Structure 1
Amino acid sequence: MTLKSYQNEAELLVKNYLLSDPVIPYSSVLGGILAFKVLYDLVQLISTFYFRSYNSLTKIQRIEWNNRGVSTLHAVFISFMSLYFVFWSDLFLDEHHPGLITLRSSPLSTFTLGVSVGYFLADLGMICWLYPSLGGLEYIVHHSLSGVAVAYSVFTGEGQLYTFMVLISEMTTPEINMRWHLDISGLKRSNAYLINGVFIFFGWLMARILLFVYMFHHVYIHYSQVIQMHSVGYFLVFVVPCALSIMNLMWFGKIIKGLVKMLAKKQ
């Protein structure tokens, strides 16, 4: 009976405080930061015991290994949730809800984006602290743009649909991280490295090129609603995806060159 009462109190605490509408943005961001720390330590612990190559790495390589592990877990989480909200949930369907599509949100959508903000803040902090070991200026620009845009959607409720569309691109992150792990493990000339490169090519094409075209098309169709957003939100809807698109195209060019080079060596 005592255990049941504690369970009920915990459920009330979560419902009335952590997941209450005014608190969700703050609790979710904090939760994302704490999750980053917990997952970082968990990746470190598992890697120490189950990956022999991990212990032979340098200190900065182990830090990057752990960081990329958390990055992969976040990418799986946010890409799945983004796909759900964009294509499966009825939250952003025109015929299911009245009102502007650019102003729709839910406790779950806000909480999901808040967790992602927490991740971007924690990861950006590590990148800046260890700069340039974990990434150069392009990583700082990418995380800063993403973090600002996602945070705006969390704290205002505006433009969450387009935020989720952009975050679907995180589905390419596990393949990018896998390439690094294969490289650091001395498997750059393996078939696994080549296959992963092919997955990166098609994943990048779908999630970071064609999907952005779809997003801009959606903005065009719903421009009468987009223009009613706050000026800051309106600015972010256009500027952030455009900036990320340019970066994605630049990286895609490098991916194509790398893939062609690998295929040439295999012949």
Structure 2
Amino acid sequence: MVTMPKETVMAIEAYRSQAKLLVKSYLFADPFVPYTSVLGGVVACKVVYDLTQLISTFYIKAYTGLTKIQRIEWNNRGMSSLHAIFITALSLYFVFWSDLFSDKVHTGYVTLRSSPLSIFGLAVSVGYFLADLGMILWFYPSLGGMEYVVHHCLSAIAVAYSMLSGEGQLYTYMCLISEVTTPEINMRWYLDISGMKRSTAYLVNGVLIFLFWLIARVMLFFYIFYHINMHFDQVLQMRWFGCMVVVMVPSSLFIMNLMWFAKIIKGLMKTLAKRQ
């Protein structure tokens, strides 16, 4: 067994202590949490993108037969699916289980509440939206048209403002619950590109998309508008830009959700008609 000299061990311990101090005093210090978390979100997207590419190359036969741009979209959708799972779980926790935004536990304006964890979650999401928007613009329009650019811009602005100001985080997390539909949408693309458009899995996927979209991108937004109306006096305590974001962003997203929902219904009806 090889033993290191005492001086080397002491030097390693010194560097380790300095690294811990750096992480504690900078990376995890409250003023820097948003910025380091955004960077972490971007890095995580890159890691997941590369892992999706690596795993798909060795274990998914259909992947090797795709074109270059199709492989890029395949990897991109793997990245967006993992973000959707992460942010949906965190959003459900804050909206339905956490006491942070509960009127029964806390006093004061619900529109002005935040915590280090809520800021961290929003920052990671900002990192994802920036990374994904960058890819959409770089490969435009192969990864999505103007509706995707508008959606990502609105989302990034709203989430970033809520993250930095600490305002309206409850409504931001409510809107982010709608990301629960993303894995199903991505799975539909995977099934289609893999030649499984006539499979039972494709039909089941279409039904799941319809149900999740109805709940998370239509009915949920009615609840958001109801909650905003019931707490509008507290919304007015926010800065003017925050008030505008709380009113305009959910409304704009809701309109786009309805437009996409009409296409989902039309596609599902077409799939069902082919099976009769």
TM-score range, shorter chain: over 0.9
1:116 to 125, 128, 133: 125
1:48 to 52, 57, 62: 57
Superposition pairs of residues 25-174 of structure 1, within 5 angstroms:
25-174=34-183
Structure 1 residue 197 corresponds to structure 2 residue 209? no
- Which amino acid in 1 is paired with 2:55? I
Q: CA deviation at 1:228?
A: 1.0
Could you tell me which residue of structure 1 aligns to residue 3 of structure 2?
none
C-alpha contact 1:171 1:207 (8 A) present in aligned 2: yes
CA distance in structure 1 between the aligned counterparts of 2:147 and 2:184, rounded to whole angstroms: 19
SS at structure 2 position matched to 1:199: helix
- Which amino acid in 1 is paired with 2:27? L
Structure number with larger C-alpha Rg: 2
Aligned residues: 267
1:13-37 superposed Cα distances (whole Å, 9 cap, x missing partner): 4333222211011111111111111
1:103-143 superposed Cα distances (whole Å, 9 cap, x missing partner): 10000100110000000001000000100000000000000
CA distance in structure 2 between the aligned counterparts of 1:11 and 1:193, rounded to whole angstroms: 49
- Which amino acid in 1 is paired with 2:256? M
- Which amino acid in 1 is paired with 2:29? S
Could you tell me which residue of structure 1 aligns to residue 259 of structure 2?
250
Could you tell me which residue of structure 1 aligns to residue 270 of structure 2?
261
2:221 to 199, 212, 225: 212
- Which moved further from structure 2: 3-12 or 227-236? 3-12
Q: CA deviation at 1:38?
A: 1.1
TM-score, normalised with respect to structure 2: 0.93
C-alpha contact 1:19 1:107 (8 A) present in aligned 2: no
CA distance in structure 2 between the aligned counterparts of 1:253 and 1:12, rounded to whole angstroms: 54
Could you tell me which residue of structure 1 aligns to residue 32 of structure 2?
23
Give ranges in structure 1 of 5+ residues lacking alignment.
Answer: none
- Which amino acid in 1 is paired with 2:158? A
CA distance in structure 2 between the aligned counterparts of 1:221 and 1:13, rounded to whole angstroms: 44
CA distance in structure 2 between the aligned counterparts of 1:234 and 1:12, rounded to whole angstroms: 39
- Which amino acid in 1 is paired with 2:172? T
Q: CA deviation at 1:261?
A: 1.0
SS at structure 1 position matched to 2:31: coil
CA distance in structure 1 between the aligned counterparts of 2:97 and 2:17, rounded to whole angstroms: 32
1:62-100 superposed Cα distances (whole Å, 9 cap, x missing partner): 000000000000000000000001001100001222221
Could you tell me which residue of structure 1 aligns to residue 187 of structure 2?
178
CA distance in structure 2 between the aligned counterparts of 1:36 and 1:90, rounded to whole angstroms: 30
Distance 1:13 1:87, change over 3 A: farther
CA distance in structure 2 between the aligned counterparts of 1:19 and 1:214, rounded to whole angstroms: 35
2:247 to 238, 249, 262: 238
C-alpha contact 1:102 1:158 (8 A) present in aligned 2: yes
RMSD: 1.5
Give ranges in structure 2 of 5+ residues lacking alignment.
Answer: 1-8
C-alpha contact 1:113 1:150 (8 A) present in aligned 2: yes
1:151-187 superposed Cα distances (whole Å, 9 cap, x missing partner): 0011111000000000000000000000000000000
CA distance in structure 2 between the aligned counterparts of 1:196 and 1:18, rounded to whole angstroms: 41
Which runs of structure 1 show a deviation greater than 3 angstroms over 4 or more consecutive aligned residues? Answer: 1-15
